[in-house]
Amino acid sequence: MRAPVRRGNQLRIGVAIPIPEPYTSTLTRARSDAGDPLAHSVPPHITLLPPTVIEPEHLGEVVDHLTAVASAQAPFVIELDGTASFRPVSPVVFVAVAATGANACAVLQQKVNQGPLAQELRFPYHPHVTIAHDLADDHLDRAERLMAGFDAVFPVAHFSLYEFADDGVWRDVSTFVLSN
């Protein structure tokens, strides 16, 4: 995970769909077992807005935007099914979002990445849950193999705004309820 450099009192934020229990514990354990040092500082999630810096005075505008996005989106169901990898482009192993939920994630991601949060992405959007990142190939292979049979189905009724603190931990600071 690349955290953008802050200048002055800028905030580092991200927007994501949190993964509920009991799945979050399993996914955190998988990331930890892979040897990923971010296992306990980055909660399992599906990214809607990658790490981004904003000026503190724009936070209200961002919150208003996210509130509007959430109010226009109906709750939906996500299925996580097996593993895949972005290798060789990026050293990431992930649990895949199945067809159930992938389209809704993509639509939500497009809406979040408008207005005050509009930006050009480094990679095309692909909803997923990272379980190993920036590790040696044998660690990535092991994570991919051990979680290959993972399956989860859960409703998505909200997404969250996270702030990346100076201690290196992503914290949920606001929740936006899907309500269309």
pLDDT score, position 180: 76
Residue 4 has pLDDT above 80, yes or no: no
Give the strand pairing for 158-164 and 151-156: unpaired
pLDDT score, position 5: 77
Averaged confidence pLDDT in the chain: 94
Q: What proportion of the chain, given as a percentage, has pLDDT over 90?
A: 84
pLDDT score, position 122: 84
Instruction: Check residues 5 and 3 and name the one with the higher pLDDT.
Output: 5
Q: Which stretch of 6-10, 93-97, 176-180 has the lowest confidence by average pLDDT?
A: 6-10
Backbone phi, psi, residue 158, to 5°: -160, 165
pLDDT score, position 1: 53
Residue 2 has pLDDT above 70, yes or no: no
Q: For the structural domain made of 11-77+101-129+156-177, what CATH number should be given? A: 3.90.1140.10
Residue 172 has pLDDT above 60, yes or no: yes
Sheet harboring 45-54: ordered strands across? 45-54, 11-18, 158-164, 170-177
pLDDT, tens digit, for every residue of 39-57? Answer: 998 999 999 999 999 999 9
pTM given for the model: 0.94
Q: What proportion of the chain, given as a percentage, has pLDDT over 70?
A: 98
Residue 63 has pLDDT above 60, yes or no: yes
Mean pLDDT in residue range 156-165:
95
pLDDT, tens digit, for every residue of 106-140? Answer: 999 999 999 999 998 888 999 999 999 999 999 99
pLDDT score, position 152: 97
Does a cis peptide bond (omega within 30 degrees of 0) precede residue 116? Answer: no
